[in-house]
Amino acid sequence: MLVDVLNRRSVYLFSAIRIFLFSPWPSAISAPYAAVVMDARTGKVYHSRNADTRLHPASLTKMMTLYIAFQAVERNEISLDSYVKISANAAAEPASKLWLRKGQKIKLRYLIRAAAIKSANDAATAIGEAISGSETAFGKRMTRTARALGMNSTTFKNAHGLTQSGHLSTARDMSILGRHMIYDYPQYYNLFSRRSASARVATVRNTNRKLLNSYKGADGIKTGYTRAAGSNLVASAERGGERIIATMFGGSSSAARNARVVKLLDMGFARAPSTAKFQKPALPHYEADYLNSSTGRRVTAIKRSLRPETRPVQKPGGQIELILAQVSETKTQPNDILRALKAATSDKIDTQVSANKTPEIVKKVSPRARPSKLSFVSTLIINDQKTKKIGKSLYRAWSINVGKFNTRYQAERVLVRTALAEERTLNGADRTVKARATGYDAIFRGLTRDSADLACRRLNAQDIPCYTISPS
């Protein structure tokens, strides 16, 4: 009997050893550690460890999802009150989630709250699909935006951050993204400090509330956890005008993660000077066409103007006289409101006629025949989708945005000034001022895709900010 007992114990011991050695344990235990401590005011790094090691970001990914959502709202691609229809793909995402149903419609603002506060995976996927048409296309836009922000070691494959091959980032890149989130869209940053909020279908609670409640000055921004990543966190705190960003990958638990991040934040405040010259990070600079197409398709402008020019007119005496309207090329400065006002109210006419007398009225003017074929720049296809109808480029439903201003008056003056400077390119466009919570957008409407693209190219060449807005 004693032998039987010993044999059973041996079997149990062997089984325990086997389970210990070969069973899949949560990979958070062995997830690589990485950390960065950054001065948000200057971007200076005070501490780093494995800062450039490519690791699984987990739900830190949603920072980029939300950054692009804010960007899309500001660029009129979508509005906070736009209803988003939930796809089967979004509804099937695993928890954490808002438990949205296939076919359900919900406003974008509630999806943003759910993704930012609860870290809901279904909400994040729905946001990406609403902006770019598919999760794959949105992942490409996320990566393009990351490159534009200087996140050179980051590649995104999805909007939520669940583990996927090739979906990787670094502690340094996530610190850069956190800094841009704070300063590029300060009007939305308060989302990350809310302990709870209504997402219409449910009240969501902040996944980072323990740190927010316990650390003085903490006001965001995003947690993340998967078995492959461990417990991740990008945290920010402000004290007496000093702001520190601490990023950590690979915590064994949320409690251990929070304890380590507290030490990192304390380190940052200890090393940061009381005063530092604030250096706001530059906004991402890339072609606006990528931001305005849900399909990810871009067609460049035509090389030549579509507008035919009139032939010289021959008078009865046989002499050919050219009547030229000489309009000077003016380099427009959007913020120079006084010049815009002067240009708008000026009684001068820059048109000169070669003869002192009014030229004779010509009964018949024969325009030059429209060319049979128009020369287009090569077409860039991002999603391998062929552009079937070039004729759609002539559809006058495109717009351009030439700046955001503090007052309606400023926006209107700049619209007038720009219209005078680019009379030929913007001929027939309607001037519109759109009021937003962050200011007033100066917009030209009623352009073709080609004319909108050409106008922005000409204005950008004059250091005037301009981006195109596709038909919604």
For CATH 3.30.70.1070, the residue range(s) in the chain are 333-344+373-472
431 SS3 class:
strand
- According to DSSP, residue 255 is labeled H
Provide the pLDDT for residue 368.
Answer: 59
C-alpha–C-alpha distance, residues 135 and 129, integer Å = 5
Q: Which residues pair with 105 in a beta bridge?
A: 85
Angle between helices 337-345 and 408-421 (to 10 degrees): 60
Q: Which residues pair with 221 in a beta bridge?
A: 235
Entry pTM: 0.60
Architecture in CATH for domain 27-271? 3-Layer(aba) Sandwich (3.40)
Q: 222: which residues sit within 8 A by CB, 6+ positions away? A: 59, 60, 62, 63, 116, 119, 178, 192, 208, 233, 234
CA angle 165, 166, 172 (to 5 degrees): 130
Provide the pLDDT for residue 92.
Answer: 97
Q: What is the rounded (10 degree) CA torsion for 298, 299, 300, 301?
A: -130
Task: Tell me the DSSP string of 215-272.
Answer: STTEEEEEEEEETTTEEEEEEEEEETTEEEEEEEEEESSHHHHHHHHHHHHHHHHHHS
283 SS3 class:
coil
Residue bearing tokens 């926006």? 411
Distances 195 to 97, 190, 204 between C-alpha atoms, Å: 17, 10, 8
Amino acid at position 454, single letter: L
Tens digit of each residue's pLDDT (9 = 90 or more) over 431-444: 899 888 778 889 99
- According to DSSP, residue 135 is labeled H
Q: 333-344+373-472 falls under which CATH superfamily? A: Sporulation related repeat (3.30.70.1070)
C-alpha–C-alpha distance, residues 127 and 111, integer Å = 7
Provide the pLDDT for residue 380.
Answer: 38
Q: 290: which residues sit within 8 A by CB, 6+ positions away? A: 141, 144, 296, 298, 382
Question: What kind and span of H or E run contains 232?
Answer: strand 230-239
Give the pair of three-digit tokens for residue 440. Answer: 């007033």
Provide the pLDDT for residue 448.
Answer: 87
For CATH 3.40.710.10, the residue range(s) in the chain are 27-271
Angle between helices 61-74 and 135-149 (to 10 degrees): 90
282 SS3 class:
coil
Contact 303, 450 (CB under 8 A): no
Task: Report H helices in 23-84.
Answer: 61-74
Provide the pLDDT for residue 31.
Answer: 85
Provide the pLDDT for residue 370.
Answer: 56
> What is the pLDDT tens value at each position of the chain, 472 positions in all?
444 544 555 544 444 444 343 333 343 345 899 999 999 999 999 999 999 999 999 999 999 999 999 999 999 999 999 999 999 999 999 999 999 999 999 999 999 999 999 999 999 999 999 999 999 999 999 999 999 999 999 999 999 999 999 999 999 999 999 999 999 999 999 999 999 999 999 999 999 999 999 999 999 999 999 999 999 999 999 998 999 999 999 999 999 999 999 999 999 999 999 989 999 998 887 544 444 444 333 333 333 444 444 555 544 544 444 333 343 344 444 444 445 545 444 444 333 333 344 444 444 545 556 555 544 443 333 343 433 344 444 467 889 998 888 888 888 888 888 888 887 788 778 889 988 877 888 999 988 888 888 888 888 777 788 888 887 5
Smallest CA-to-CA distance from 296 within 161, 159, 167, 131 is with 131
C-alpha–C-alpha distance, residues 66 and 60, integer Å = 10
Q: Annotated active-site positions, please?
A: 59, 62, 119
C-alpha–C-alpha distance, residues 157 and 461, integer Å = 34
Q: Which residues pair with 231 in a beta bridge?
A: 225, 251
